Amino acid sequence: MVHLTLGNLEGKVAMRKVQVLRCQGSGQDPKEYHLTPHTKTHGNEKGQSVALFAILMPIMSLFLLGILDYMVTNARVMETVAAADLAAHAGAQEITVLPDGTITATTAGNGIAATYFNSQRPGSAQLTSVSCGRHQGRPACYVTAQVQSAGYLFPARWVTVRAIGYLAHGVTRDDQ
């Protein structure tokens, strides 16, 4: 068991209740009645809710701004991921695999991926690089983009998004 020393708080509260009850019984106003001239409890309690409100309001506002900053940045990143993924898969369809297994990529894949990304991207995103060809030993298109964070509470920064689209066997632009 832990004992906390709070002074004689319980005794003071009990004495205050007894004196308030005596005042009510005698017809006096309990607000004007004090234990001693040095222990005015009623005067010390005024304005506590205003001070608490003044302290908590800025803290709550900062917390809400942080949440808003996170949510807007997260939405921007998700939109950029969707555009980069679409662009990577569109660019991967331009890759050709020869019957002997040789992967041949043309610059048309890079251009198509860039076109797809620029047509679908959110306003806060920009395309960084496109590379279509062999990635990790497979035919794929690799798209890198950046999106700017909201910057409501924290300073605006660039978030990098990477997407890779692999060529599925038998799926090329000519087959569709």
Q: What is the pLDDT of residues 50-92, one digit of tens each?
A: 888 889 999 999 999 999 999 999 999 999 999 999 999 999 8
Q: Is 72 exposed, middle or buried (0-12, 13-18, 19+ CB in 10 A)?
A: middle
Residues in the chain: 176
Reference 150, options 51, 68, 31; nearest CA is: 68
Give the pLDDT score at 57: 92
| Stretch 158-175: mean pLDDT | 78
pTM: 0.65
Q: What is the pLDDT of residues 109-165, one digit of tens each?
A: 899 999 999 999 989 999 999 998 888 878 889 999 999 999 998 899 999 999 999
Query: Please, are residues 57 and 135 in contact by the beta-carbon 8 Å criterion?
Result: no
Which residue stretches of the chain are H helix?
9-26, 41-44, 48-92, 107-120
Reference 139, options 79, 84, 94; nearest CA is: 94
3-state secondary structure of 147: strand
Q: Is the pLDDT of residue 2 over 80?
A: no
Q: Identity (one letter) of the amino acid at 97? A: V
